[in-house]
């Protein structure tokens, strides 16, 4: 039987990575920090508080002596809280007996993603994906359970952008759309450039991942993603973006009011089926599972062969750095338990 704790390599020191470093002292029974990597290199360290403080100050790990990327010398965990295509590193880590736990969606959702390798690793629980979709909503583990029980998923309906849900809930409460977007940014719920969230691309990636896990397709699906702001607004200064977003305030207020008058709620909904992925702003019945979501919730509705007349609904906390970090650590503990079995 393998022993605890397992060496941990953390990729990424953004909001989620820093939240995870803050939680690590409570997980020493399972994990021992071995190294942390940012875009400047890999720092070999067992001091999460030191790294967290250094990154909170906005400094690169290279200023602490970070060097080239490497993997722990003994089988352990790679937690990917970065943003970027780390496919090669994942494949290397898995081939050397490490487990990979990720909140990074890029290696899973790019057109050439090697799902012939990812899916078996997920089924063996050496690839933890829970944090890629819905953070605190256990959609990936539920899909694995349905798969093991022989059920067949027919389609998926989901609200899985915490940022967009936060914004729409604020607009429903009477706030202007433009101000709600910047409130989300100020509270750390959106990307530094909010147009990345408003593009809907992140929802498309999440539904792509869920569709692969549900075996809705074997190749990259067709994507139809409706943006909430024009793509050419990306990169605008904060002042110019706020001014541009103000031109949408009236439209969003009218759509929210029309939905409310019809007994509905406005949601940014992602749908996955055998024909592909569709993501768009749409009204849903106020008393439906997605209509009843709280301001900080995400929701995933699974239509399966078994759960057809009454689809299976999963709802729960869906965004925030600490929520995502806790989901990563839960996946990490499951991987550690597999090492010891």
pLDDT tens digit sequence for 173-217 = 999 999 999 999 998 888 889 999 999 999 999 999 999 999 998
Give Cα separations from 213 to 57, 83, 118, 141 (angstroms).
38, 21, 9, 10
Of 19, 63, 72, 4, nearest to 38 (Cα)? 63
Percent of the chain with pLDDT over 90: 76
| pLDDT for position 34 | 97
Band (pLDDT 50/70/90 cuts) for residue 341 is low
* End-to-end Cα, the chain, rounded Å: 7
Summarize pLDDT for 96-154 with one digit per residue, the tens: 999 999 999 999 998 888 998 998 999 888 999 888 987 778 898 899 899 889 999 99
Residue 254 has pLDDT above 60, yes or no: yes
Backbone φ and ψ for 146, nearest 5 degrees, come out as -60, -40
Percent of the chain with pLDDT over 70: 99
Work out the angle between the directed axes of helices 87-95 and 115-123 (0-180°, nearest 10): 50
Give Cα separations from 39 to 36, 59, 259 (angstroms).
10, 11, 44
Residues 6+ apart with CB under 8 A from 266: 168, 171, 172, 255, 256, 259, 281, 282, 283
Residue 220 has pLDDT above 90, yes or no: no
Within 10 Å of residue 284's Cβ, how many Cβ atoms? Answer: 20
Average pLDDT over residues 36-64: 96
Average pLDDT over residues 244-270: 97
Average pLDDT over residues 72-83: 94
| pLDDT for position 3 | 58
Residues 6+ apart with CB under 8 A from 262: 283
Average pLDDT over residues 237-261: 97
Quick check: helix, strand or coil at residue 257? Answer: helix
Strands 77-80 and 99-102: parallel
42-73: string of b/e by CB count within 10 Å (b at 16+)?
Answer: bbebeebeebbebbeeeeebeebebeeeebbe
Average pLDDT over residues 59-67: 96
Residue 1 has pLDDT above 50, yes or no: no
DSSP lists the bridge partners of residue 315 as 299
C-alpha span between 112 and 336 (Å, rounded)? 29
Q: Where are the beta strands (DSSP E) in 19-119?
A: 31-38, 41-44, 77-80, 99-102
Residue 250 has pLDDT above 60, yes or no: yes
26 given a catalytic annotation: no
Quick check: helix, strand or coil at residue 52? Answer: helix
**220/27: higher pLDDT:** 27
Summarize pLDDT for 268-303 with one digit per residue, the tens: 999 999 999 999 999 999 999 999 998 888 999 999
Name the active-site residue from 55, 105, 185, 206: 206
Strands 312-317 and 297-304: antiparallel
Helix ranges (H only) for 223-287 are: 238-246, 249-261
Residues 6+ apart with CB under 8 A from 71: 9, 78, 89, 92, 93, 96, 98
Band (pLDDT 50/70/90 cuts) for residue 224 is very high
On average, the pLDDT of the chain sits at 93
Instruction: DSSP letter for 132, please.
Output: G
| pLDDT for position 296 | 84
C-alpha span between 224 and 47 (Å, rounded)? 44
């Amino acid at each position: 039987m393998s022993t605890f704790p397992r060496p941990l390599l953390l990729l990424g020191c953004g909001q989620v990575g820093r939240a995870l470093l803050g939680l690590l002292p409570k997980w020493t029974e399972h994990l021992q920090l071995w190294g942390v990597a940012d875009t400047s290199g890999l720092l070999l360290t067992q001091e999460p508080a030191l790294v967290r403080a250094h990154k909170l100050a906005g400094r690169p790990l290279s200023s602490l002596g970070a060097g080239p990327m490497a993997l722990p010398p003994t089988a352990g965990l790679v937690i990917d809280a970065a943003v970027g295509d780390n496919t090669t590193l994942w494949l290397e880590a898995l081939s050397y007996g490490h487990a990979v736990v990720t909140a990074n969606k890029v290696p899973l959702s790019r057109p050439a993603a090697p799902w012939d390798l990812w899916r078996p690793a997920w089924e063996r629980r050496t690839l933890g994906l829970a944090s890629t979709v819905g953070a605190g909503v256990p959609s990936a583990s539920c899909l694995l359970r349905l798969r093991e029980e022989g059920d067949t998923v027919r389609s998926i309906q989901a609200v899985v952008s915490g940022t967009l849900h936060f914004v729409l809930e604020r607009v429903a409460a009477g706030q202007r759309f433009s101000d709600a977007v910047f409130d989300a940014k100020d509270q750390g719920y959106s990307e530094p450039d909010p147009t990345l969230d408003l593009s809907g691309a992140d929802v498309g990636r999440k539904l792509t991942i869920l569709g692969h896990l549900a075996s809705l397709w074997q190749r990259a699906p067709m994507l139809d993603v409706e943006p909430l702001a024009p793509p050419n607004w990306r990169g605008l200064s904060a002042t110019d973006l706020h001014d541009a977003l103000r031109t949408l305030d009236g439209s969003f207020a009218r759509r929210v009011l029309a939905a409310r008058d019809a007994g509905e709620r406005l949601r940014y909904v992602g749908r996955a089926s055998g024909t592909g992925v569709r993501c768009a702003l749409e009204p849903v019945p106020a008393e439906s599972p997605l209509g009843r979501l709280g301001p900080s919730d995400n929701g995933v509705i699974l239509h399966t062969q078994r759960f057809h007349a009454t689809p299976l609904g999963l709802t729960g906390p869906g965004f925030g750095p600490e929520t995502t970090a806790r989901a990563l650590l839960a996946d990490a503990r499951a991987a550690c338990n597999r090492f010891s079995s």
